[in-house]
């Protein structure tokens, strides 16, 4: 009679042991898959947030009082980057833009610990921090390309294409004043540029005060980040930013 080969050692393992191994193996694979999925989700979330911040919506804070009382110092705002690319800008829009050159004083930023810089950089990727706010300005559009903007008529009003503009609804005036201090100008806005002024006009270094700079006080549209549309912080001021479009409703198109 032929002798049967010995049974392999692993087949001698009892049913309870094999069941235990089968239960533990998927659990080990499950934890690895779980961690991998979490990592993928985090990476995708960061990537999507970065793309949204870069191309759709961006966060800034207000470092000065030049737009009071529409915007206050330390207000945090959202800026729409994508819509103006398709619809363009309108008179009255509040816009954030990079310094065209010479508008902001030269400053040096004190060195910060590496950890703080790294955290600030990471938060900026997802729009929770706005470290470059001090390198940008925010003003209201008064003149579009081709507009003839003049300061001022007999009662201190601007005129755009010959039409006086009643800005009393949003200007912050000095105590006892009925109009901002007169800073005379007579300009025609060149193509692909804007003429912008602050709502707190007596405390705003805007287009009027930069006519001696290379861009003659005009802001190239290519420098505009986008249109500010929402105050997000503090919560007591949460709400839409008023573009004051009706103020300019009677202004004819530029010739």
- What three-state secondary structure class fits 123? helix
Copy the structure tokens of residue 233.
Answer: 């912080």
Which residue, 50, 53, 71, is CA-closest to 62?
71
Half-sphere exposure of 40 (CA within 13 A, CB side): 6
pTM for this entry: 0.75
Residue 235 reports pLDDT greater than 90: yes
pLDDT of residue 32: 73
Question: CATH for 59-107+133-248?
Answer: 2.10.109.10
Q: What is the pLDDT of residues 214-230, one digit of tens each?
A: 999 999 999 999 999 99
Delimit the domains of the chain by residue range: 13-51, 59-107+133-248
33 pLDDT band, cuts 50/70/90, is confident
Catalytic site positions: 66, 139
Average pLDDT over residues 9-29: 50
133 pLDDT band, cuts 50/70/90, is low
Q: What is the pLDDT of residues 76-123, one digit of tens each?
A: 999 999 989 899 999 999 999 999 999 988 665 565 564 555 555 455
């Amino acid at each position: 009679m032929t002798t049967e080969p010995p049974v392999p050692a692993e087949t001698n393992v009892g049913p309870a042991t094999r069941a235990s191994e089968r239960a533990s193996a998927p659990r080990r694979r499950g934890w690895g898959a779980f961690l991998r999925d979490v990592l993928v989700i985090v990476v995708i979330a960061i990537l999507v947030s970065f793309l949204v911040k870069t191309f759709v919506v961006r966060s800034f804070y207000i470092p000065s009082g030049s737009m009071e009382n529409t915007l206050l110092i330390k207000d945090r705002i959202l800026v729409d980057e994508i819509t103006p690319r398709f619809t363009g800008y309108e008179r009255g829009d509040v816009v954030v833009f990079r310094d065209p050159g010479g508008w902001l004083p030269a400053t040096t930023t004190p060195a910060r610990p590496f950890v703080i810089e790294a955290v600030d950089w990471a938060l900026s990727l997802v729009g929770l921090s706005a470290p470059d706010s001090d390198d940008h300005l925010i003003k209201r559009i008064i003149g579009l390309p081709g507009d003839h903007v003049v300061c001022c008529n007999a009662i201190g009003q601007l005129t755009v294409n010959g039409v006086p503009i009643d800005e009393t609804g949003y200007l912050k005036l000095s105590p006892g004043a009925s109009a901002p201090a007169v800073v005379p100008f007579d300009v025609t806005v060149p193509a692909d540029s804007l003429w912008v002024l602050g709502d707190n006009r007596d405390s705003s270094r805007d287009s009027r005060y930069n006519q001696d700079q290379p861009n003659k006080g005009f802001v190239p549209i290519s420098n505009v980040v986008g249109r500010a549309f929402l105050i997000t912080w503090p919560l007591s001021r949460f709400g839409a930013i008023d573009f004051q479009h009706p103020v300019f409703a009677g202004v004819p198109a530029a010739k």
